Amino acid sequence: MTSKSKILVTGSSIRSDLLEPLRTAGHIVRVPDGTLTEAELIRELADTEVYLYGGDEEATAPVIESSVALRLIAFYGVGYESFMDVEAVRRHGVRVTNTPGTLNNSVAEFTIGQLLNCRRHLTEYALKYLNGSSGDEAKQSDLGAHTVGIIGMGGIGTRLAEILTKGFDANVAYFSRTRKPALEEQLGIRYTSLNELFEVSESLLVMIPGNSETRHLVGEEQLGRLRHGSVLVNTARPEIVEPGSLDANLRSGRISAAAIDGYYSEKTEETESLKQLQPHPLLITGHVASLTHDARDAMTRRAVGSILNFLDTGADECIVV
């Protein structure tokens, strides 16, 4: 049996009973309430070896640098780069695991829901009815008559392509860092350059990790290539799309509707102006795309398994840093 370790668990959607294997193995598990501030996180991690990162706090450089006992961060999800200072993690020799494959379906379903909402103006028309101003709604078109572009063809992008082609008979084009010829043949999707993707897509789905390389990857040059009345759904990180460009294109009608899951961390003139466009033509949700029992329980089981493996052997198949 491994020696007893202190484990910090954050996040309100983690079922306590799924943490029982950690307690059974003799480890001390602490689950504080609420979202921790930087100072609170520093205090919690002062003598903690393992951090199951399931909340909305930020593991900044000061947090990592002060956590002298920390050996492992078990990140609850996939896109860990957006939530922690990766360079600080590397400098201090902290290992990181994530939970690949556990949220593909939940995020894909949510993204399709937002696509339908934007494409068919469901929120807008519901508000019109509520306000007694319905009756002048415009005709929309089926997804099957559209080309949907996907930026990023990882696990979630692949699931999106499956649903769109098999469920809606949509035309799907994609851009990804790695081309997927076998998937192209299997689903009948086609690969394009990033700029071409904006030119051919009537609806665009953003599904790539958020990091320094992808920050503002989508800006005025790309959005200016969209045809008038296009739709954009971003269930990755908000910062991938430059907020001022999104604001301008929503106001001009080039983008008829957009949806973002989560919002920009920096409060600027551009982000404040963009926020004024909700709930239509901009719909903002609070980082809830993976908020299903199925996905969250699967993530917890995978994270707990990784923690036990790491504490037993120093290794795990889900180590990413």
Could you list the active site residues? 237, 266, 287
- Residue 135 half-sphere exposure toward CB, CA atoms < 13 A: 3
* DSSP code per residue over 50-94: EEEE-SS--B-HHHHHH-TT--EEEESSS-GGGTB-HHHHHHTT-
Separation of alpha carbons 264 and 236, rounded Å? 12
Separation CA 51–CA 95 (nearest Å): 10
Helices 122-130 and 104-120 pack at an angle, to 10 degrees, of 50
Tokens of 236: 């990755």
CA atoms of 206 and 236, how far apart (whole Å) = 6
Q: For the chain, where are the E strands, in sequence order?
A: 6-10, 28-30, 50-53, 72-75, 95-97, 147-151, 171-175, 190-191, 203-206, 230-234, 255-261, 282-285
SS3 165: helix
**Which residue carries 């002048």 as its tokens?**
136
Q: Are 200 and 222 in contact (CB under 8 A)?
A: no
**26 close to 4: Cβ distance less than 8 angstroms:** yes
Nearest-10 crossing angle of helices 293-313, 104-120: 150
